[in-house]
Amino acid sequence: MQGETISSRLFSIRREVKAAFGKAEPPEADRIVKSQYPEPLQIRDYFAGKNWWDITLQGLFGDYVGDASACLTFMTPIGVEYYLPAYLLMAAEFYYEGGVVTEDFAYGLKRTVMREDLYGMSLYGGEKKKAIVVVVGFLWNEYGDEEALEAMRVIALRWGEGVEVAGGKV
């Protein structure tokens, strides 16, 4: 990584996330959110029929009427797994521009990983896990996001894999 520019690292991250999560069709609306409360229904309606790669920070800020930082929290495991790559890329590429959506992403991810009973992220395939770890490591190394470091520790504990951070394992 030494000698690489931030743009080349971001290009590499984008390529890895896209390869890991692929281009599957979005889940049906009733599989994204299972609640009948107003905010989750707003989330369901906004994300319904949208491909993960079409979700952008600009779209969330311009077109979504609710709290864009809470969307993944209200999704089902299927919704989280499908739309997570959009948030991974937004956090890496627009960390400062995204405010709480991107700057608090690692904190939310840590909580999601900790809720294995609810989200089952340990069941993700190796390529998806690797892409998540790469992004979280980037958030720590590039932006000094301390929650990203905490997220990496939780990932290492929950997924049982050594996670490289700044030259050492967590």
Whole-number pLDDT of residue 4: 79
* pLDDT (0 to 100) of residue 163: 53
Q: Which pTM does this prediction carry?
A: 0.92
Mean of the pLDDT values across residues 140-161? Answer: 92
**What pLDDT shows up at residue 160?**
80
| pLDDT value, residue 161 | 57
**Which pLDDT score, from 0 to 100, does residue 168 have?**
46
Distance, CA of 27 to CA of 84 (rounded, Å): 13
User: How many alpha carbons lie under 13 Å from residue 46 in its C-beta half-sphere?
Assistant: 26
Six-digit token string for 35: 């609640």
Contact (CB, 8 A) for 137 and 164: yes
- At residue 167, the pLDDT reads 44
Q: What is the mean pLDDT of residues 128-136?
A: 96
Q: Which helix (H) or strand (E) holds 165?
A: strand 164-165
Q: What is the pLDDT of residues 14-40, one digit of tens each?
A: 999 999 999 999 999 999 999 989 999
